[in-house]
């Protein structure tokens, strides 16, 4: 854990093959702000939480062909990363994996991904090229938060499964007062209200759901009237 954290002058790394099968420790290269390139050996199967967080100079990373899991925040704030290709072994992409990768423009995904967090690509302002098994797609069916959807839509990518998550609520919900009642309106286009989305927001008399809504996950009973269209 934290093996090279805050090694601000570290600019290159050569990994020697050992018996280890993952880079699963948290913050392995976190805040190595001069690290520009990294080639991951093929024995690595998991990339841990915040492994490359704040590697602000990282512009090229090659993942080994056995990587299965990208954990939370592992490439967060890699602001110079423009593209990344995930091997066919990847099945899991965690929360905020590419948070604030503001220059990420294209990503190559395998069909093997079975679990992808709706907030994996939060604040990826320029992401507009998504390839699945090498073919560019313009409509995606993996889960996406409403905030990520707004960026994708702006960049010409359509989304089928849009989740309204906690960080969306404060930014995108509309609050109105009518007849002394406090009303919360969930925006159009939302398909799923994620688990505990409203957990920290109380005091609404009415919540309006859009026609696009398909499912509400574990909505708290502490709210008042829930109004479907």
- For the residues 2-18, what does the mean pLDDT come to? 60
Kindly report which listed range (15-19, 72-76, 200-204, 220-224) carries the lowest average pLDDT score: 220-224
- For the residues 93-103, what does the mean pLDDT come to? 97
3-state secondary structure of 113: coil
Same domain, 137 and 215: no
Those residues with Cβ within 8 angstroms of residue 34's Cβ, 6 or more apart along the chain or in another chain = 8, 9, 10, 11, 57
Q: What is the pLDDT of residue 221?
A: 45
pTM above 0.95, yes or no: no
Same domain, 103 and 123: yes
Is position 177 within any domain? yes
Is position 9 within any domain? no
Show the domain range for 196: 166-227
Is position 19 within any domain? no
Same domain, 120 and 206: no
List residues bridging with 106 in a β-sheet.
83, 129
On whether the CB atoms of residues 164 and 190 are closer than 8 A, the answer is yes
Q: For the chain, give the mean pLDDT.
A: 85
Question: What is the band of 223 on the pLDDT scale with cuts at 50, 70, 90?
Answer: very low
What is the token pair recorded at 169?
């609520």
Question: What is the band of 227 on the pLDDT scale with cuts at 50, 70, 90?
Answer: low
Determine the Cα–Cα distance for residues 47 and 45; give it in Å rounded to an integer: 7
Same domain, 156 and 173: no
Same domain, 66 and 142: yes
- The residue among 120, 140, 160 that closes a domain is 160
List residues bridging with 140 in a β-sheet.
159
Same domain, 148 and 189: no
Same domain, 46 and 154: yes
* Total length of the chain: 229
- The residue among 112, 130, 160 that closes a domain is 160
Is position 30 within any domain? no
Q: Are strands 135-137 and 129-132 parallel, antiparallel or unpaired?
A: antiparallel
Digit-coded pLDDT (tens) for 115-170: 999 999 999 999 999 999 999 999 999 999 999 999 999 999 999 999 999 889 88
- The domain total for the chain is 2
Q: What is the pLDDT of residue 193?
A: 87
Helix (H) or strand (E) holding 61: strand 60-62
CATH number (domain holding residue 139): 3.80.10.10
Question: What is the band of 104 on the pLDDT scale with cuts at 50, 70, 90?
Answer: very high
Model confidence at 225: pLDDT above 70:
no
Same domain, 75 and 93: yes
Span between the terminal Cα atoms of the chain, in Å: 50
- The residue among 109, 138, 160 that closes a domain is 160
- Burial (CB count <10 Å: 0-12, 13-18, 19+), residue 5: middle
């Amino acid at each position: 854990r934290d093996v090279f954290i805050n090694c601000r002058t570290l600019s290159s790394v050569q990994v020697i093959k050992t018996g280890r099968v993952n880079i699963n420790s948290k913050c392995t290269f976190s805040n190595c702000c001069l690290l520009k390139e990294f080639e991951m050996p093929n024995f690595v199967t998991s990339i841990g939480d915040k492994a490359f967080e704040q590697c602000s100079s990282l512009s090229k990373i090659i993942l080994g062909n056995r990587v299965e899991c990208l954990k939370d925040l592992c490439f967060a704030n890699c602001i110079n990363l423009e593209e990344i290709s995930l091997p066919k072994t990847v099945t899991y992409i965690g929360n905020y994996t590419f948070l604030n990768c503001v220059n990420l423009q294209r990503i190559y995904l395998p069909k093997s991904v079975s679990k992808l967090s709706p907030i994996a690509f939060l604040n990826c302002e320029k992401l507009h090229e998504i390839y699945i098994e090498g073919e560019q797609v313009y409509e995606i069916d993996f889960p996406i938060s409403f905030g990520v959807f707004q960026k994708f839509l702006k960049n010409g990518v359509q989304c089928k499964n849009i989740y309204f998550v906690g960080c969306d609520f404060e930014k995108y919900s509309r609050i109105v007062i009518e007849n002394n009642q406090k009303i919360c309106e969930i925006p159009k286009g939302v398909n799923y209200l994620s688990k505990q989305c409203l957990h920290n927001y109380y005091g609404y008399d009415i919540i309006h759901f859009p026609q696009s809504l398909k499912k509400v996950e574990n909505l708290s009973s502490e709210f008042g009237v829930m109004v479907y269209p």
